[in-house]
Amino acid sequence: MARDDTDKRSPSDKVIVRSVQPDYLLPDHEVIEYVRTRRNEPDYLEKAIRLRVRKISRSKHSLDVNLGAPIPPPPNIMKVKGPLPYMHAMAKQHYEEGQSWMRVKDHEKAIGCFKLAAAVRPNDDLIQFDLGYALFAAGRHNEAVPHLTKAMEINAYSSAPHEVLAVMYAEKGDDARAIETLLCAPTSAPMLTTIAEIPGKDEKHADLEREVLELALELKPDFYLTHELLARLLGRLGEIDAAIREAEQALQLKPDDADAAIVLADLKYKAGALEESRHYLLTAQRSRPLDTNLRRVLDRLEAELTNPGVPDSTHVDPSKVTLSRRLPRGTTLKFLRSDKPGHVSVRLRLPAQKDSCEFTDLPVKNGVVALPITIVFVCHSRQDRPTVEKIAEQLQSAGFYVWIDKKDLLPGDPWEEVIEDAIETADFVLVSLSQRSLKKGGYYWREIRYALQQGDRRPVGERFIIPVMIEKVDIPKSLSKIHCEDLTQPGWLERLALAMSPDPEKD
Q: How far apart are CA 215 and CA 221, in angstroms?
A: 9
Residues above pLDDT 90, as percent of the chain: 26
Q: Is residue 151 domain-resident?
A: no
Q: Do 389 and 359 have their domain in common?
A: no
Residue 78 banded pLDDT, cuts 50, 70, 90: very low
- Give the residue ranges of DSSP H helices in 457-499: 492-499
Judge contact between 353 and 375, C-beta under 8 A: no
The 8-class DSSP code of residue 338 comes to -
Between 34 and 18, residue with greater pLDDT: 34
CA angle 267, 321, 401 (to 5 degrees): 65
Look up residue 207 and give its amino acid.
Answer: D
Q: Do 395 and 365 have their domain in common?
A: no
Judge contact between 378 and 271, C-beta under 8 A: no
Q: Do 342 and 436 have their domain in common?
A: no
Pairing type for strands 485-486 and 465-469 reads parallel
Q: How far apart are CA 84 and CA 47, in angstroms?
A: 40
pLDDT of residue 108: 93
Residue 11 banded pLDDT, cuts 50, 70, 90: very low
pLDDT of residue 42: 77
Residues 121-129: what's their mean pLDDT? 88
Residues 372-396: what's their mean pLDDT? 90
CB burial class (10 A; 0-12, 13-18, 19+) of residue 278? buried
Residues 76-102: what's their mean pLDDT? 65
The answer for residues whose C-beta is within 8 angstroms of residue 454's C-beta and 6 or more apart is 423, 424, 429, 464
Q: Is residue 141 domain-resident?
A: no
Closest residue by Cα to residue 185 from 144, 145, 156, 225: 156
For the cut 90, the answer to whether the pLDDT of residue 466 exceeds it is yes
Q: What is the mean pLDDT of the chain?
A: 81
How does pLDDT run across 148-163, given as a tens digit for each residue?
Answer: 989 888 877 778 888 8
pLDDT of residue 485: 92
Q: Do 485 and 410 have their domain in common?
A: yes
Judge contact between 320 and 366, C-beta under 8 A: no
Domain span including residue 473: 375-506
Work out whether the CA dihedral 146, 149, 151, 154 comes out positive or negative.
negative
CATH number of the domain where residue 414 is located: 3.40.50.10140
Of 369, 395, 430, the residue that ends a domain is 369
For the cut 60, the answer to whether the pLDDT of residue 238 exceeds it is yes
How many domains, the chain? 2
Residue 243 banded pLDDT, cuts 50, 70, 90: very high
Tell me if residue 149 falls in helix, strand or coil: helix
pLDDT of residue 203: 63
Q: Which of 12-21, 105-114, 357-366 has the lowest mean pLDDT?
A: 12-21
Q: What is the DSSP code string of 40-88?
A: TSTTHHHHHHHHHHHHHHHHTT-SEEE--S--PPPPS--S--SSSS---
Instruction: Note the pTM of the prediction, 2 decimals.
Output: 0.70
Q: How far apart are CA 99 and CA 130, in angstroms?
A: 8
User: Distances from the Cα of 148 to the Cαs of 158, 159, 160, 196, 443, in angstroms?
Assistant: 11, 11, 9, 22, 62
DSSP-assigned beta bridge partners for residue 18: 64
How does pLDDT run across 336-351, given as a tens digit for each residue?
Answer: 998 888 899 999 887 7
How does pLDDT run across 254-276, given as a tens digit for each residue?
Answer: 998 899 999 999 999 889 898 89
How does pLDDT run across 26-76, given as a tens digit for each residue?
Answer: 566 777 777 777 778 777 778 888 877 777 776 654 444 333 333 444 443
Judge contact between 372 and 362, C-beta under 8 A: yes
